[in-house]
């Protein structure tokens, strides 16, 4: 069954985020165990983030905040979705050169996701909503294991054509829409602006610090809450559509 997001619903979501923060939704952390009814067809959305540097102007938990916002948006459009507390650590070894970055690594993250998926049998399906690109390998491995065990687990990561790679205008705009109080615009400055494909080998061997001393891959100049709200709406629509296609 296809799920269509009406234009007025999208506008409502945008207005809510700009003025109030996340829309009210089902949050698993606030439930009691009798409220979790196995067999009622509910879908568990698990936001996956990271704790890693995002330049001198964005908080370390930027990816986690974005993943939570997207999972919350999914639940706002689907009444059968409940949002789990976010996993705030990921595989962030490429950011190890910056103080404050905490990383589980790919192998440990894979194990964590497998065990989380196995423990979620009270739900009809699990959607891993990923906010950090470095988590991708662990997510693929965990989904493979869980699917082979007969569990319904899917994963989704945001994609913005033309967006910069890390802590640039894209993520800065998203954070301005989600919570402008955590963005230090007075500290925002461009970093390495070469396309990701051109610097990927250097990132692999030198890490982000070896390519961009301030940790930014892109240019946050011109970021705005208005642009962020549009991007957030677009990503939520994509997540809603993907979930409908994968879990009709």
What's the predicted TM-score (pTM) here?
0.89
Residue 4 has pLDDT above 60, yes or no: no
Tens of pLDDT, residues 55-66: 999 999 999 999
Query: What is the Cα–Cα distance from 97 to 95, expressed in whole angstroms?
Result: 5
Higher pLDDT, 139 or 161: 139
Mean pLDDT of 218-223: 95
Q: What is the DSSP letter of 223?
A: -
Query: What is the Cα–Cα distance from 110 to 142, expressed in whole angstroms?
Result: 5
- Of 145-154, 158-167, 216-225, the range with the lowest mean pLDDT is 158-167
Tens of pLDDT, residues 63-76: 999 999 999 999 99
Query: What is the Cα–Cα distance from 15 to 17, expressed in whole angstroms?
Result: 6
Q: Could you tell me how far CA 151 lies from the centroid of its own chain?
A: 22
Percentage of residues in the chain with pLDDT exceeding 90? Answer: 82
Average pLDDT of the residues of the chain: 90
């Amino acid at each position: 069954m296809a799920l269509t997001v009406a234009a007025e619903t999208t506008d409502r979501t945008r207005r809510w985020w700009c003025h109030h923060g996340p829309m009210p939704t089902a949050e698993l952390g606030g439930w009691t165990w009798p409220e979790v009814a196995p067999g009622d067809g509910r879908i568990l959305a698990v936001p996956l983030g990271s704790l890693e540097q995002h330049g001198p102007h964005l908080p370390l938990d930027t990816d986690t905040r974005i993943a939570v916002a997207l999972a919350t948006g999914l639940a706002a459009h689907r009444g059968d979705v409940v949002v789990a507390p976010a996993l705030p650590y990921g595989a962030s070894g490429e950011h190890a050169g910056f103080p404050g970055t905490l990383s589980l690594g790919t192998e440990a993250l894979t194990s964590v996701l497998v065990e989380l998926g196995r423990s979620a049998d009270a739900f009809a399906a699990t959607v891993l909503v990923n906010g950090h690109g470095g988590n991708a390998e662990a997510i693929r491995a965990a989904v493979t294991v869980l699917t082979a065990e007969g569990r319904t687990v899917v994963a989704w990561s945001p994609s913005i054509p033309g967006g910069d790679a890390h802590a640039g205008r894209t993520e800065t705009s998203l954070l301005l829409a989600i919570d402008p109080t955590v963005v230090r615009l007075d500290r925002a400055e461009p970093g390495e602006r070469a396309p990701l494909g051109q610097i990927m080998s250097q990132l692999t061997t030198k890490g982000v610090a070896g390519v961009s001393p301030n940790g930014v891959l892109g240019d946050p100049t011109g970021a705005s809450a208005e642009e962020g709200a549009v991007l957030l709406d677009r990503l939520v629509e994509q997540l809603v559509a993907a979930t409908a296609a994968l879990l009709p």
